[in-house]
Amino acid sequence: MNKIQNKKWAYIINFIGICILFSLLMILFNSGILGTSTNYVKGILTTACYTIIMVASLNLLTGFMGEFSLGHAGFMSVGAYSSAIITNMLVDKGIPDIILFVIALIVGGFAAAITGTLVGIPALRLRGDYLAIVTIAFAEIIRVAFTNFAITGGGRTMSGITKLSKFSWCFWVMVICVTFMYMYVRSRFGRTVIAIREDYIASAASGINVTFYKVLTFTISAFFAGVAGAMYAHYMTAMIPTNFSFMYSAEFLTEVIIGGTGSLTGSIMGAIFLSALPELMRDFSNYRMLAYSVVLLLVMIFKPSGIFGTYEFSLTGALSRLFHKKEKGKGGAADE
């Protein structure tokens, strides 16, 4: 009972911390401190929100399930295009923007999840390099299909998408998505997936339906990639299939490895890095991929498990350690 109570308090404290962070950001934007850079900073943070969802969802596969996917941008493109098509059909119906945004997220997520299930059932019987090759092939098939479909622009830019991805909405969608992924990883389903990653043969021998759990995780990962795609489409308002190339998937995988495979905290930090780096290197844009390579090389040499490894940041844990140190310091002073 005490453990359950502690968990409830941990959730409450973490939620309060998120609310404080959101409030500080809104005060910063509304106070005029940033001046003309307000919209620019908002844009970077909005990009960070859907990138965090993408990197965290890929970490479900790479970090927690132990399988490499090099076609995750394909699921993002399915969510982006399907949600954009639906909202373009509904935009003149007088539906409030917030409802339209929710519809876009649901449509994008479920379209990507269905695609993930259809791809995952045959593909997840493979492992390692073979699975990576299949996911690359899937992403390329999707890209070529969107290039040839008239409804997606037929290879040209699909423009005129309603801009619905406001920072405040994207922030809370990101929080909900990461929370759900964290709860999944900590559930019995997540623990089973981790057991499969640690020893595939022993898990299968103990009666675990390995294929079912792998397809389930693959589908959930694809769902969140679709949600991120919907956010992306309604922020950019224009898309072209080449945006979702193999290199885009490789960038997400790079951030998973840099942040730490098996750490959602690492995914968040890696995604923030991925979002900020292009802006920091605006004058050296041709060397952006070189910078990724150098950072990845340094991480592999000095911290092969990633910056965070499997560590998860906990606000309650940080506060308890802080107060414990203070009490210990006071105790030491009293003893003297």
pLDDT above 90: residue 80: yes
Rounded to two decimals, the pTM is: 0.88
Cα gap 113→121, rounded to integer Å: 12
pLDDT above 80: residue 63: yes
* 179 CB-side CA count, 13 A: 11
pLDDT tens digits, 181-233: 999 998 889 899 989 888 888 888 888 888 899 999 999 999 999 999 999 99
**pLDDT band at 234, cuts 50/70/90?**
very high
**pLDDT band at 41, cuts 50/70/90?**
confident
**pLDDT band at 175, cuts 50/70/90?**
very high
Q: Across residues 90-106, what is the average pLDDT? A: 91
pLDDT above 60: residue 335: no
| 119: its two tokens | 């791809």
pLDDT tens digits, 302-311: 877 777 777 7
pLDDT tens digits, 132-160: 888 888 888 888 888 888 777 776 788 88
- In sequence order, the β-bridge partners of residue 239 are 158
User: Which is higher by pLDDT, 275 or 163?
Assistant: 163
Q: Across residues 160-169, what is the average pLDDT? A: 90
Q: Across residues 165-180, what is the average pLDDT? A: 93
pLDDT tens digits, 102-116: 999 999 999 999 999
Helices (H), the chain: 2-30, 38-59, 72-90, 97-123, 129-148, 167-186, 188-198, 200-205, 210-236, 246-259, 264-280, 288-302, 315-335
What pLDDT is stored for residue 1 in this prediction?
45
**pLDDT band at 57, cuts 50/70/90?**
very high
pLDDT tens digits, 283-298: 666 666 777 778 778 8
Tell me which residue of 261, 265, 259, 255 sits closest to 292, measured CA to CA.
Answer: 255
Domain ranges (residues) in the chain = 34-329
Report the percent of the chain where pLDDT is more than 70.
Answer: 88
Q: What is the CATH number of domain 34-329?
A: 1.10.3470
Report the percent of the chain where pLDDT is more than 90.
Answer: 29
- Residue for token digits 């340094």? 298
The total number of residues shown for the chain amounts to: 336
What pLDDT is stored for residue 114 in this prediction?
94
Give the count of beta carbons closer than 10 Å to the beta carbon of residue 294.
11
Q: Are 248 and 239 in contact (CB under 8 A)?
A: no
